């Protein structure tokens, strides 16, 4: 219809502009690839815009995060199918899979550690340690129980703690004094 | 990250100190991981938001959905009209035909028969289990698709968003009967689905709604009775609020999921 933008936007443009940088960063942690991250956020926001009138105004952030995580899970599944069906991997796929020497070299320790987690464990870790969501909020985003979130978080954290490159990475700030008061 | 001076494990205070040290060490590790996430996230510089492109795509998706909804409503309208005419023909000609009561608000008739949402207090009757091939996409109605693989349950909504629940990630104890529930609801009703597990003799999975309303779910399993399967149902408002129940073929309650 010819007269869309202003009335139908209803604040979407403003939301998208404000949310874009953080969503791309979240997607970067979820995917490990900058271009895939931007594609993922673009697809997600396009879908959100398609339903913008129905998105509960008090839960926009939750709705968008949920959509982002679900779209990412779908992307991984599609990729898994592509891997099964493709005899020789296209360049873009090879670079996102662990084991490829160049990719491993270029990856940071964190991306390498995250690549070893399952998609859901990874989502839980990103939502917990980057988005700072509570377990309850993560359960809402992932549409699962808090128990499941706790399990993913425990296993994910254990994997990150014991990952050789991440464990060996230098602490980016001065360590607490030996008497370090517990918080 | 072990402290330089190792405390003597034989003494009480030292043990306390060890615990405090371990706690502080764990916290420091978590802080370090959190820092790593923040650094990694800020390592990228997002491009300007492609607002025009994503709004164009969003409008396309909206138009596609509207077209699909319109088609579905047209089909539903025709089906309802046909049912009403049939009802009038079958009823006494002198009386006005009552408005046809659509059981669940299922718009498009799915290929798989959708179970009825019926207020019932009768003993649960077994629902046939449909055996499907791994990866076979089952049309669950209203644009929903459900499929099973050895890994677990997968489903996709009318908007194409896919999701899954694993039976192999260790979060489900398939040795004990149980059910899980994932709901996509709207004011008009919703699509409910989940896993059932811990039994090779499932008879029925029911969504418990307000009052004594029960909605029996369609049951799907992979060949060879793997001991788990998937249930799904379209149901009206409030379905599942009072929880879920799973029965065996003899009508014995195997598991309940509180609402």
User: What CATH number did the domain enclosing B248 receive?
Assistant: 2.60.40
Check residue B25 and give its pLDDT. 79
Tell me if B187 is assigned to some domain. Answer: yes
Question: Cβ of B185 under 8 Å from any chain A Cβ?
Answer: no
pLDDT in tens, B4-57: 444 444 444 556 666 777 788 778 888 888 888 998 888 888 888 888 888 888
Check residue B49 and give its pLDDT. 86
Question: Cβ–Cβ of A49/B20 closer than 8 Å?
Answer: no
Tell me if B124 is assigned to some domain. Answer: yes
Give the separation between CA B37 and CA B41, rounded to whole angstroms.
Answer: 6
> How many domains would you assign to chain B?
1
Tell me if B227 is assigned to some domain. Answer: yes
- Bridge partners of B155? B146, B163
**Sheet bearing B253-258, strands edge to edge:** B117-119, B213-216, B202-208, B243-248, B253-258
Distance of residue A129 Cα from the nearest chain B Cα, in angstroms: 5
Which residues of chain B are within 8 Å of residue A108 when distances are taken between CB atoms? Answer: 40, 43
Q: How many CB atoms lie within 10 A of CB B100?
A: 15
Question: Cβ–Cβ of A25/B41 closer than 8 Å?
Answer: yes
Distance of residue B247 Cα from the nearest chain A Cα, in angstroms: 23
Question: Cβ–Cβ of A38/B32 closer than 8 Å?
Answer: no
Burial of B112 (0-12, 13-18, 19+ CB in 10 A): middle
Which residues of chain B are within 8 Å of residue A4 when distances are taken between CB atoms? Answer: 59
Which residues of chain B are within 8 Å of residue A178 when distances are taken between CB atoms? Answer: 3
Tell me if B149 is assigned to some domain. Answer: yes
pLDDT in tens, B107-138: 333 344 444 454 444 567 888 899 999 999 99
Q: How far, in Å, are B13, B160, B201, B244 from residue B187 at the CA level?
A: 60, 21, 35, 20
Average pLDDT score over residue span A97-112: 56
Give residue A167's pLDDT band: very low, low, confident or very high (50, 70, 90).
low
* Tokens representing residue B179 in the block: 């059910």
Which residues of chain B are within 8 Å of residue A180 when distances are taken between CB atoms? Answer: 24, 28
Pick the CATH number of A101-168 from 3.40.50.1100, 1.10.10.10, 1.25.40.10, 1.20.80.10: 1.10.10.10
Give the separation between CA A98 and CA A108, rounded to whole angstroms.
Answer: 12
Is A95 in contact with A123 (CB distance < 8 Å)?
no
Q: What is the ipTM of this complex?
A: 0.74
Question: Cβ of B168 under 8 Å from any chain A Cβ?
Answer: no
Candidate from A28-32, A53-57, B122-126 with smallest mean pLDDT = B122-126
Average pLDDT score over residue span A115-129: 93
Is A90 in contact with A84 (CB distance < 8 Å)?
no
Q: Name the more confident of B81 and B108.
A: B81
Q: Is the pLDDT of residue B103 over 50?
A: no
Question: Cβ of B42 under 8 Å from any chain A Cβ?
Answer: yes
Tell me if B121 is assigned to some domain. Answer: yes
Give residue A175's pLDDT band: very low, low, confident or very high (50, 70, 90).
very low
Give the separation between CA A47 and CA A113, rounded to whole angstroms.
Answer: 30
Quickly name the fold that domain A1-97 has.
Answer: Rna Polymerase Sigma Factor; Chain: A (1.10.1740)
Question: Cβ of B66 under 8 Å from any chain A Cβ?
Answer: no
Question: Cβ of B20 under 8 Å from any chain A Cβ?
Answer: yes
Give percent of chain A with pLDDT exceeding 70.
70
Average pLDDT score over residue span A149-174: 76
Tell me if B56 is assigned to some domain. Answer: no
> Domain limits at B186?
117-258
Q: What is the enclosing helix (H) or strand (E) of B248? A: strand B243-248
Helices B51-90 and A34-50 pack at an angle, to 10 degrees, of: 40
Domain locations in chain A?
Answer: 1-97, 101-168
Mutation target to probe the A interface, by most A beta carbons within 10 A, among B33, B38, B42, B185 is B33
Give residue B78's pLDDT band: very low, low, confident or very high (50, 70, 90).
low
Give the separation between CA A75 and CA B162, rounded to whole angstroms.
Answer: 9
Give the separation between CA A166 and CA A172, rounded to whole angstroms.
Answer: 12
Residue of B255, B251, B244 lying closest to B175 (CA atoms): B255
- Which residues 6+ apart lie within 8 Å of B190 measured at CB? B183, B184, B234, B235, B239, B240
Which residues of chain B are within 8 Å of residue A9 when distances are taken between CB atoms? Answer: 55
* β-strand pairing of B117-119 with B253-258: unpaired
Q: Name the more confident of A30 and B27.
A: A30
Candidate from A19-23, A114-118, B24-28, B116-120 with smallest mean pLDDT = B116-120
């Amino acid at each position: 219809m010819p007269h869309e933008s202003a009335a139908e936007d209803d604040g979407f443009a403003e939301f998208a502009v404000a949310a874009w940088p953080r969503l791309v960063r979240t997607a970067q942690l979820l995917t490990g690839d900058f271009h895939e991250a931007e594609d993922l956020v673009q697809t997600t926001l396009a879908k959100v815009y398609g339903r913008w009138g129905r998105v509960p105004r008090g839960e926009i952030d939750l709705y968008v995060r949920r959509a982002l995580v679900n779209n990412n899970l779908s992307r991984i599944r599609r990729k898994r199918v592509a891997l099964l069906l493709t005899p020789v991997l296209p360049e873009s796929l090879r670079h996102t899979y662990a084991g490829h020497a160049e990719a491993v070299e270029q990856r940071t320790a964190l991306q390498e550690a995250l690549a070893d987690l399952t998609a859901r464990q990874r989502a839980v870790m990103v939502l917990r340690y980057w988005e700072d969501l509570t377990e309850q909020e993560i359960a809402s985003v992932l549409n699962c129980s808090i128990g499941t979130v706790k399990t993913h978080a425990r296993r994910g954290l254990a994997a990150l703690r014991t990952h050789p490159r991440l464990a060996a990475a230098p602490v980016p700030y001065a360590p607490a004094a030996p008497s370090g008061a517990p918080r | 990250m072990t402290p330089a001076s190792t405390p003597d494990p034989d003494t009480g205070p030292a043990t306390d100190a060890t615990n405090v040290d371990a706690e502080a060490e764990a916290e420091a590790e978590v802080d370090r991981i959190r820092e790593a996430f923040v650094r990694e996230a800020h390592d990228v510089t997002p491009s300007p938001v492609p607002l025009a492109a994503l709004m164009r795509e969003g409008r396309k998706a909206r138009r596609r959905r509207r077209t699909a909804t319109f088609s579905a409503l047209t089909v539903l309208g025709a089906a309802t009209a046909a049912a009403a005419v049939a009802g009038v023909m079958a009823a006494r000609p002198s009386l006005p035909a009552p408005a046809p009561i659509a059981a669940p608000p299922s718009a498009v008739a799915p290929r798989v028969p959708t179970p009825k949402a019926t207020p019932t207090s009768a003993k649960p009757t077994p629902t046939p289990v449909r055996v499907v091939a791994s990866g076979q996409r089952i049309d669950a109605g209203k644009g929903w698709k459900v499929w099973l693989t050895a890994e677990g349950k997968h489903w996709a909504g009318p908007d194409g968003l896919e999701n899954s629940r694993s039976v192999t990630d260790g979060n489900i104890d398939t040795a004990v009967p149980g059910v899980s529930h994932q709901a996509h609801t709207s004011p008009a009703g919703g699509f409910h689905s989940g896993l059932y597990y811990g039994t090779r003799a499932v008879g029925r999975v029911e969504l418990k709604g307000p009052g004594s309303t029960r909605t029996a779910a369609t049951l799907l399993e992979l060949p060879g009775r793997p001991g788990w399967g998937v249930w799904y149902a379209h149901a009206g408002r409030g379905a599942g609020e009072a929880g879920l129940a799973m029965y065996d073929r003899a009508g014995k309650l195997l598991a309940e999921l509180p609402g």
